[in-house]
């Protein structure tokens, strides 16, 4: 699986990464802004963008706009994709939702230990939640998004809340940019994709990747990139079916360290 997108708070070293220099906090004026920091420390995101999509993209938005018609997405609950019975949208910053996302990612990425596993899991889950809150407060709404998948059928919402999550961030790492055509300075980096244990092997991850594609179109990016372990063939097969291609493999010396695995960088062009 891909690594979780980190934060620079008190978290493990493998989760650390500073926010982009272009990330700034902004207080929105009443009714006009897109990003607002509330007095209680929370944030509220207002999304208002114009989308133009091609007709070959299978999503509710694409179906609504056809080949060239433009629409404005002003609803925070607007769905980016609907695939295989799941709908994908941006996370709304409510406490229960944040904790649900942190639990799903913690369960997917926590490595069990022999002793005191429950304690270490709770600690790791708190780290994930802290990282998520930090990103939502530090990144502008058009530079970072946490996408969640939920059941398309209303009857299933009593059984499931969120069933999957993925982080999407605007990035410009030189190592990845060298793999892209000349002149491309930024791309969307996909990390932290995780599916709830009760909904695995039901195409949730595929729906999440569709949501990432649509978000890239909304934000005006043509390239998406992600990282996966070289020997994680299940994840790599998933990404390949979604249109990602392996463009870089870590050198052999990186696997010589005990407990360290080589990674591959996969890129998709829309």
C-alpha atoms less than 13 angstroms from C-alpha of 71 in its C-beta half-sphere = 13
| CB neighbour list of residue 106: distance below 8 Å, 6 or more residues apart | 121, 124, 125, 128
| CB neighbour list of residue 235: distance below 8 Å, 6 or more residues apart | 1, 2, 228, 229
Active-site residue, selected from the candidate residues 160, 239, 244, 248: 239
Residue 192 main-chain phi, psi, to 5 deg: 60, 25
Instruction: Quote the CA–CA distance of 156 and 73 in Å, as a whole number.
Output: 26
| CB neighbour list of residue 24: distance below 8 Å, 6 or more residues apart | 140
Active site residue 239: yes
| CB neighbour list of residue 25: distance below 8 Å, 6 or more residues apart | 35, 37, 137, 138
- Local structure of 98: helix, strand or coil: helix
Q: Tokens for 34, please give them.
A: 């897109």
Q: Give the angle 70-92-40 at the CA atoms, nearest 5°.
A: 130
Q: Give the angle 181-236-78 at the CA atoms, nearest 5°.
A: 75
Sign of CA dihedral 62, 63, 66, 67: positive
Instruction: Quote the CA–CA distance of 22 and 217 in Å, as a whole number.
Output: 20
Closest of 18, 31, 2 to residue 171, by C-alpha: 18
By annotation, the residues acting in catalysis are 239
């Amino acid at each position: 699986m891909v690594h979780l997108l980190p934060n620079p708070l008190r978290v493990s070293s493998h989760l650390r990464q500073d926010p982009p220099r272009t990330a700034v906090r902004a207080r929105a004026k009443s009714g006009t802004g897109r990003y607002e920091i509330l007095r209680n420390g929370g944030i509220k995101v207002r999304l208002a963008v114009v989308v133009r999509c091609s007709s070959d993209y299978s999503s509710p938005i694409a179906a609504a706009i056809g080949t060239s018609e433009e629409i404005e997405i002003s609803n925070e609950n607007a769905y980016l994709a609907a695939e295989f019975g799941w709908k994908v949208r941006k996370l709304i910053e409510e406490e229960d939702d944040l904790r649900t996302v942190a639990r799903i990612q913690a369960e997917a990425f926590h490595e069990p230990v022999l002793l005191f596993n429950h304690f270490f899991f709770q600690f790791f889950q708190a780290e994930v939640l802290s990282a998520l809150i930090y990103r939502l407060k530090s990144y502008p709404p058009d530079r970072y998004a946490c996408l969640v998948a939920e059941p398309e059928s209303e009857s299933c919402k009593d059984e499931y809340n969120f069933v999957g999550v993925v982080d999407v961030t605007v990035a410009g790492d030189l190592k990845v940019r060298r793999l892209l055509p000349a002149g491309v300075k930024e791309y969307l980096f996909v990390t932290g994709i995780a599916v709830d244990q009760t909904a695995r092997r039901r195409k949730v991850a595929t729906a999440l990747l569709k949501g990432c594609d649509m978000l890239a179109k909304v934000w005006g990016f043509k390239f998406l990139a992600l990282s996966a372990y070289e020997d994680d063939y299940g994840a790599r097969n998933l990404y390949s079916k979604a249109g990602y291609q392996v463009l870089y493999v870590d050198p052999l010396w990186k696997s010589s360290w005990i407990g360290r695995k080589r990674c591959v960088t996969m890129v998709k062009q829309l």
